[in-house]
Amino acid sequence: MNSLRCLTTWLLLLCIGSLPLVHALSPRAEKTDPASKRAYLGFDRNIFPGKAALPVLRKTFTFSGYWLSPPPGEKTNTWLGQRELLRAQGFGFLLLYRGPQTRDLKNQAAAEKGTSDARDAASAAKREGFPAPSIIFLDIEEGGRLPATYHAYLRAWASGLSEAGYRAGAYCSGIPVKEPSATITTADDIRAHAPSQDFVFYIFNDVCPPSPGCTFPQNPPSPEAGGVPDARVWQFAQSPRRLERTVHCPPGYHTDGNCYAPGDTAHTWFLDVNSASSPDPSSGR
């Protein structure tokens, strides 16, 4: 009688103990529903919107772009020194650094410039109080396939940031470009020329669809919905809108062609709208 009870108890404990293992090995337990991944809204703009704008924008956005260099077309950078103001409002960060134009990259000098820009970006991030290993996204405005000189620059940029303790990101096009024998995105081209771990992708694709246009959904679309499977951030609306790409977008852009946050009733701060897989895409808090 006692032996039977012990055997029964041992079998019961064996079954109970094996349940977590069975659950862990179950295919259903390992599946992740992409629709269940949470995404977060953010904004970016070339000019700092000002202290008064932050509480208004914070009602809609979780993170903000933050330039470490003068933005494209600008000679000065109005974002410098604003980190604590944004952090006090609860914003996460999307760190940006202006990339070169292809015409500015010449053979061997391309890699040298990549190293120099990486040092400058890392120094600016450190001065602004952004910890290593924050991700710094290089702003690449050109779309489609990049020339060899640009890839040399990018490899040096990624290596230089890594040596300084930061991570390399690329803001680039996720819009497919048709070539005679293939279809390419800039993100695909960068990935093909550098180890995948070298770059985190922030892509722009404001073509409707997949873009929802100038909208501010409570449940933002996943960055992957922009067309690049491993994108961390997706810029789905730009100011000013590109009519040739946004002709099929739903109403939302203002009559001046720009996108404004819902709380900005005076239409003071036109901006670009982003979706990210993290409330702090650059890990800059």
pLDDT value at 154 more than 80:
yes
Q: Is the pLDDT of residue 117 over 50?
A: yes
Query: Torsions phi, psi of 149, nearest 5?
Result: -65, -35
Structure tokens at 93: 């960060």
- Asked if residue 145 has pLDDT above 70, the reply is yes
pLDDT in tens, 48-77: 999 999 999 999 999 999 999 999 999 999
pLDDT at 37 over 80: no
pLDDT digits (tens, 9 = 90+) for 230-260: 999 999 999 999 999 999 999 999 999 999 9
pLDDT of residue 198: 81
| Nearest CA-CA partner of 264 in 219, 214, 227 | 214
User: What does the block give as tokens for 70?
Assistant: 């003068």
Strands 167-173, 135-139: pairing kind: parallel
Q: Which residue carries 């914070």 as its tokens?
A: 58
Res 62: pLDDT: 98
* pLDDT bucket at 86, cuts 50 / 70 / 90: very high
Is 2's pLDDT higher than 60? no
Q: What is the average per-residue pLDDT within 120-148? A: 96
Q: Each residue of 13-35: pLDDT tens digit?
A: 333 344 333 333 333 333 334 44
Contact in structure between 220 and 39 (CB atoms under 8 Å): yes
The predicted-structure confidence for 178-219, as pLDDT tens digits, reads as follows 999 889 999 999 999 986 568 999 999 999 999 999 999 999
Q: Which residues pair with 191 in a beta bridge?
A: none
CATH class of 41-276: alpha beta
Predicted confidence band at 41 (pLDDT cuts at 50, 70, 90)? very high
Work out the percent of the chain whose per-residue pLDDT is above 90.
82
| Per-residue pLDDT at 188 | 93
Domain boundaries, the chain: 1-31, 41-276
Closest of 111, 223, 124 to residue 166, by C-alpha: 124
Amino acid sitting at position 67: W
At residue 162, what are phi and psi to the nearest 5 degrees? -60, -45
In this predicted structure, what is the pLDDT of residue 196?
Answer: 59
